[in-house]
Structure 1
Amino acid sequence: MTTYIVLINWTEQGAKNVRDSPKRLDAAKKLLGDMGGSFKSFYLTMGECDMVAIVEAPDDAVIARFALMLATGGNVKTRTLKAFPEFAYREIISSLG
């Protein structure tokens, strides 16, 4: 499984319906689960992003479909970062020669 960091901001519509946000989170967790992925952690954040999720998915295509499906709801905008674990970071750096 590949790890991704998803930076999430409410749209104007999402902010107006913020009380429904926990239900939408539950639906997003189920959606990703049905796609073969999972949420590892989720945070309400202060600052540039409203929320941050650490998720795992089988591949980039799955996470792309997941992000697009979230966007169709009109409540959030996302930015997704592919995350390399420490061992991969070390391998990448050591391969520089």
Structure 2
Amino acid sequence: MTTYVILLNWTDQGIKSVKESPKRLEAAKAVLSQMGGTLRAFYLTMGAHDMVVVAEAPDDAVAARFALTIGMGGNVRTQVMKAFPEAAYIEIISSLG
């Protein structure tokens, strides 16, 4: 499985109904699970982003489909970053000429 870090910000709609956010989080976990992925960690954050999710998905297409699916609800905007674990990082750096 590939790891993804997803940065989320509430939209105007999402913050107006923020009390429903925990239910939306549970629904998002279920959606990702149905797609073959797993939500590994969730954080409410302060700063440039409202929330951070660490998720695993079988491939980039599933990660993109997940981000688009939760975005379609109109409550959040997402930025998805593919994360390379330490071993992959070392392999990539070692392969440099």
With the length of structure 2 as denominator, give the TM-score of the two structures. 0.99
Query: What CA distance in whole angstroms lies between the structure 2 residues aligned with 1:4 and 1:71?
Result: 16
Write out per-residue CA displacement over residues 4-28 of structure 1, whole angstroms, 9 at most, x where no aligned residue: 0000000000000000000000000
Partner of 1:32: 32
RMSD: 0.4
* 2:4 matches 1:4: yes
> Share of identical aligned residues, percent?
66
Write out per-residue CA displacement over residues 32-83 of structure 1, whole angstroms, 9 at most, x where no aligned residue: 0000000111000000000000000000000111111111100000000000
Structure 1: 5+ residue runs without aligned partners? Answer: none
Q: Secondary structure of the equivalent of 1:48?
A: coil
Structure 2: 5+ residue runs without aligned partners? Answer: none
Residue type of the alignment partner of 1:28: A
Q: Secondary structure of the equivalent of 1:5?
A: strand
Query: What CA distance in whole angstroms lies between the structure 1 residues aligned with 2:23 and 2:61?
Result: 25
Partner of 2:70: 70
* 2:90 matches 1:95: no
**How many residues of Structure 1 are paired with residues of Structure 2 in the alignment?**
97
Query: What CA distance in whole angstroms lies between the structure 2 residues aligned with 1:74 and 1:91?
Result: 39
Query: What CA distance in whole angstroms lies between the structure 1 residues aligned with 2:83 and 2:68?
Result: 19
